[in-house]
Amino acid sequence: MLRYKENFSMSRKLKRMILGIADTCLIAMSFMISYIWLLRIVHPNILTYLPTYLITVGLYLCLGAIFKVFSRINRYVDITTVLAVGYSMVTAFLVHWLVINRWLYVIDMRLRFLSLSYLFSVLLICISRFVWSLLAQVINHERKSSLNLKRTLVVGAGEAASIFFKSLEIDDPKYDIIGIVDDNINKRGTYLHNNRVLGNIDDIATVVRDRHIEHVIIAIPSLSAGRIEEIVQVCNAIGVTVNRMPHAQDILINGFELNKLRDVSVSDLLGREVVRLDVAGLKNELRGKIILVTGAGGSIGSEICRQVIRFRPDKLLLVGQGENSIYHIHRELETAYGHRTQIIPIIADVKDRDKIFRLMTHHRPDIVYHAAAHKHVPLMEANPMEAVKNNIYGTKNVAEASKSAGVSKFVMVSTDKAVNPANVMGASKRIAEMIVTGLNEKGLKSGENGTKLSAVRFGNVLGSRGSVIPVFKEQIAKGGPITLTDRRMTRYFMTIPEASRLVIQSGMLSRGGEVFILDMGEPVKIYDLARKMITLSGLTEKDIQIVEVGIRPGEKLFEELLLTGEEVKQNIFEKIFVGQVATLPIEEVVSFVDSLEESDDLARKLIDFANQSVSNQVEVTKKKDFLTQVLELKTSSN
């Protein structure tokens, strides 16, 4: 196959040259046909038309470059290709007849000859493109037949499927498309890129058996979680593998290639809606700026880096304590984006106050995303002073260094465990929130200088290092059992890209002092999550048992997004709300933080302070949960 590609693949420049030469010959042929056609009426000297031919070729080549006639992939001939050729020839004709022939180069030229020549030229050039396309399809078909390709069924006959089929023709063939299924009954029996719609999604099992399908690709980015789960269950039962295309927002930002097909994940089965970013606003916010991300090697920090760098910042600073994780994210980003953005890896500990101040002063970042934190609940229960050092002192260091260096915006990644915290990790993050909002400079108006500090609060992130997902995967791989602390336990979940995008979007919307609260949707039972993961693995609960082991220290049966007495103040963007968050004066918070030291009752002190900060500030009335407030806010805005 490689030898085939070496022999028959041509560079784009060579293809343009061949097309230009071929079109020049076809125009000459058109002139000859017109000349022969008109011999019955007139008897002109053919040499008198040579200057006209040269002018026509010159005009066409110039206009063809403008209308991108030679830049199109000729395997995909469609109406746009025909229109491009037509626009070039019609414009050339008008310039030729109305300008050159009448004012610059006077010749006894009959309009009917010129018209016929241009008409035949359009026809022959368009026919040549269709012939080229047909030959390419024949060669591609012969090539496919010689390879051992997977017999594949595509779910969906819409725009996403069309993008997939076009990619399939560009890239090396990997799949032998046998047909399509789609729930739109009007599409049954129709064709998309020469692939027939064989039935609807409920017919997958029948189509797979009858046509010996080996692989299924879901090409409907908006397909519901329930429908995806049905497809996975059917495919598991009949022993075929399943992939799906990325979400529409990912395709819009990053484009699509065949290697971007991915396995169906548990997040697909949870039905999280895709976040639609304000792309234009973020380009204006991030392009050409210096961005610093702490915890850049972690799950959230590394994804923030991946999202930010797509908006072409001038410089991206990857700050992290772990050399391996920083090395891997730096290498990944340098390979893909190093030609347009300076990417600087920095091994630094946010607890090292002097170093953090030095690097802020040296690099002068415009925006700081603070994702560095200890997040593992049981470990922080056993090591409370480490939570204080990293989550509280570290946040204070980075926030104060940002203000000192004149950073425009500082965004801290927080957690729902900071709400009515029952554990050390949550209490440390709640105190960090109070530091960030307290350090914000009051009274700043739009356009004034000063660091705008804010925090973003959300729940569990699917697939992060501290998530339950990797644990469940490992347990399933070992044959079970899956261990749960309690079948009643629920958590809010969000995907890593979704959380990272909303953090970036929140930073753009920040005016200083806010605690942004992300709409996490409905809480998910961990037991249901375990069952869905068993389904994805192709097994059943008969194969993998689910066992309760009891709640660990510091854990709660359910998490919240609002403290007692807090309110959702404003919905400023899709899935982003500003919380009316109670806090203490920054002097009181700093005084408490400075008094902390290693002791047996350190955990109790942290939890008591984080909770009393609310009870001192808010007269508690009947509390509405976050989802109820969000629903009321959306209803009132409508």
List, by residue number, the catalytic residues.
417
3-state secondary structure of 561: coil
Residue 580's DSSP bridge partners are 567
> What is the amino acid identity at position 103?
W
Question: Could you tell me which of 437, 441, 461 has the C-alpha nearest to residue 449?
Answer: 441
**Do the strands 567-573 and 576-580 form a parallel or antiparallel pair, or are they unpaired?**
antiparallel
Specify the residue for token string 């990857």.
318
Give the distance, in angstroms, between the CA of residue 319 and the centroid of all CA atoms in the same chain.
Answer: 23
Distance CA 399, CA 357 (A): 10
User: Residue 493 belongs to what H/E stretch?
Assistant: strand 493-495
Distance CA 529, CA 522 (A): 13
Distance CA 129, CA 65 (A): 16
Distance CA 499, CA 505 (A): 10
Residues with Cβ within 8 Å of 417's Cβ and at least 6 positions away in sequence, in order, are 377, 423, 425, 426, 429, 559
As given in the structure block, the two tokens for residue 87 are: 């626009």
* Bond from prior residue into 44 cis (ω within 30 degrees of 0): no
Tally of CB atoms within 10 A around 327: 15
Q: Is the dihedral of CA 307, 309, 315, 316 positive or negative?
A: positive
The secondary structure of 148-179 as a DSSP string is: -PEEEEEE--SHHHHHHHHHHHHSPP-EEEEE
As given in the structure block, the two tokens for residue 25 are: 């010959």
Distance CA 339, CA 350 (A): 29
Tally of CB atoms within 10 A around 108: 6
Specify the residue for token string 């991300």.
293
Distances (CA, A) of 55 to 97, 237, 273: 11, 67, 57
Distance CA 151, CA 324 (A): 40
Per-residue exposure over 462-495, b if at least 16 CB sit within 10 Å of its own CB, e if not: bbbebbbbeebbebbeeebebbbeeeebbbbbbb
3-state secondary structure of 22: helix
Q: Region of 147 please: left (phi>0), alpha (psi -120 to 50) or beta.
A: beta
**Crossing angle between the packed helical segments 496-509 and 299-309, to the nearest 10 degrees:** 60
- State the Cα angle at 131 between 129 and 137, rounded to 5°: 105
Q: Region of 110 please: left (phi>0), alpha (psi -120 to 50) or beta.
A: beta
